Structure 1
Amino acid sequence: MTTTVIRNADLVVAWDASAQQHIYLPDADVAFTGGAISFVGRGYTGEAEEEISGSGLMVMPGLVNIHSHPSSEPMNKGLIDEIGSPGLYNSSLYEFMPIFRADSEAVPSCVRVALSELLLSGVTTVADLSMAHPGWMDLLAESGMRVCIAPMFKSAKWFTKNGHVVEYEWDEAAGEKAMAEALSLIERAEQHESGRLFGMVVPAQIDTCTDTLLKESFQEAEKRGLSWQIHAAQSVVEFHEITRRTGKTPIGWLDSMGLLSDRSIIGHGIFLDDHPSTKWWTDSDMGRLAETGTTVAHCPTVFARRGITLKHFGRYKRAGVNMGLGTDTYPHNMLDEMRLVAYLARTQANDPRSMTTTELFDAATIGGAKALGREDIGRLAAGARADFVLVDVTHPMMRPGRDPVRSLVYAAGDRAVRDVYVDGNKVVADGKVTTMDYHGAAAHLHEAQKRIVEKAPSQDWAHRPVEVSSPPTFRWS
Structure 2
Amino acid sequence: MNRPLRIGLKASCVVGFDGRQHVLWRDGEVVFEGARILFVGRGFPGEVDQWIDHGNALIGPGFIDLDALGDLDSTVLTLDNGDERRMGRMWSEEYLATGPRESYSFDEEVFKYRYAFTQLIRNGITTAMPITSMYYREWAETYDEFAAVAGVAAELGLRAYLGPCYMSGMSYLCADGSLAQHWDEARGLTGLDAAERFFRNFDGAHDGLIRGALLPDRIQTCTPALLQHTAALSRELDAPVRLHCCQSPGEYALVQQLRGHSPLGWLQQLDLLGPRSLLPHGIYTSGDDDLRRLVDGGASLVHCPVVFARDGEALNSFGRYRALGINLGLGTDTWPADLLDNMRQGLNIARLMEGNAEQTSALDMYNAATLGGAQALGRDDLGRLAPGAKADITVFDLGGLHLGPLFDPLKNLLLAGRGDDCIASYIDGRCVMQHGQVQGVDYRALQQQAQQQFHTLMRSHSDRAFGQPDWRGLFKPAIPFADAYSAAAPLCAASTPQD
Work out whether the TM-score is over 0.5: yes
Compared CA separation, residues 380 and 191, structure 1 to 2 (3 A): closer
Question: How far apart in 1 are the matches of 2:252 and 2:75?
Answer: 27
1:408 partnered with 2:413: yes
Question: How far apart in 2 are the matches of 1:43 and 1:395?
Answer: 28
Find 2:403's aligned residue among 380, 398, 406: 398
Aligned-partner residue type, residue 365 of structure 1: T
Q: Which residue of structure 2 lines up, in the alignment, with residue 32 of structure 1?
A: 32
Compared CA separation, residues 33 and 56, structure 1 to 2 (3 A): same
Q: Which residue of structure 2 lines up, in the alignment, with residue 280 of structure 1?
A: none
Aligned-partner residue type, residue 110 of structure 1: K
1:172 partnered with 2:185: yes
Q: Which runs of 5+ in 1 are unaligned?
A: 275-282
- Cα RMSD (Å): 2.5
Contact 1:152 1:203 in 2 (8 A): yes
Q: Which residue of structure 2 lines up, in the alignment, with residue 81 of structure 1?
A: 79
1:3 partnered with 2:10: no
Compared CA separation, residues 100 and 300, structure 1 to 2 (3 A): farther
Q: Which residue of structure 2 lines up, in the alignment, with residue 278 of structure 1?
A: none
Compared CA separation, residues 86 and 451, structure 1 to 2 (3 A): closer
1:341 partnered with 2:343: no
Matches within 5 A, 1:251-266: 251-266=264-279
1:456 partnered with 2:454: no
1:53 partnered with 2:59: no
Question: How far apart in 2 are the matches of 1:104 and 1:84?
Answer: 31
Compared CA separation, residues 168 and 461, structure 1 to 2 (3 A): same
Q: How far does residue 16 in structure 1 lie from its aligned partner after superposition?
A: 1.1
Q: Which residue of structure 2 lines up, in the alignment, with residue 108 of structure 1?
A: 110
Q: Which residue of structure 2 lines up, in the alignment, with residue 358 of structure 1?
A: 363
Question: How far apart in 1 are the matches of 2:328 and 2:467?
Answer: 39
Q: How far does residue 443 in structure 1 lie from its aligned partner after superposition?
A: 0.8
Q: Which residue of structure 2 lines up, in the alignment, with residue 277 of structure 1?
A: none
Q: Which residue of structure 1 lines up, in the alignment, with residue 295 of structure 2?
A: 290
The runs of at least 4 aligned residues of structure 1 exceeding 6 Å deviation read 92-95
Q: How far does residue 428 in structure 1 lie from its aligned partner after superposition?
A: 1.4
Q: How far does residue 6 in structure 1 lie from its aligned partner after superposition?
A: 1.6
3-state SS of 1:351 partner:
coil
Q: Deviations over 1:274-329 (max 9, x none)?
A: 4xxxxxxxx41111112211111111222222222222212211221110111111
Question: How far apart in 1 are the matches of 2:91 and 2:282?
Answer: 18
3-state SS of 2:386 partner:
coil
Contact 2:78 2:84 in 1 (8 A): no
Question: How far apart in 2 are the matches of 1:224 and 1:158?
Answer: 30
Q: Quote the sequence identity (%).
A: 29
Question: How far apart in 2 are the matches of 1:54 and 1:167?
Answer: 56
Q: How far does residue 80 in structure 1 lie from its aligned partner after superposition?
A: 2.1
Q: How far does residue 100 in structure 1 lie from its aligned partner after superposition?
A: 10
Contact 1:226 1:373 in 2 (8 A): no
Q: Which moved more, 1:134-143 or 1:351-360?
A: 134-143
3-state SS of 1:271 partner:
coil
TM-score, normalised via structure 2 length:
0.87
1:439 partnered with 2:444: yes
Q: Deviations over 1:222-256 (max 9, x none)?
A: 22122111011111111110111122110111112
Q: How far does residue 468 in structure 1 lie from its aligned partner after superposition?
A: 4.2
Q: Which moved more, 1:46-55 or 1:419-428?
A: 46-55
Q: Which runs of 5+ in 2 are unaligned?
A: 93-99, 133-140, 484-499
Question: How far apart in 2 are the matches of 1:162 and 1:298?
Answer: 34
Q: Deviations over 1:186-225 (max 9, x none)?
A: 2222253353100111221111111121121112112212
Question: How far apart in 1 are the matches of 2:470 and 2:361?
Answer: 45
Find 1:119's aligned residue among 101, 121, 129: 121
Aligned-partner residue type, residue 157 of structure 2: G
Q: Which residue of structure 2 lines up, in the alignment, with residue 388 of structure 1?
A: 393
3-state SS of 1:68 partner:
strand
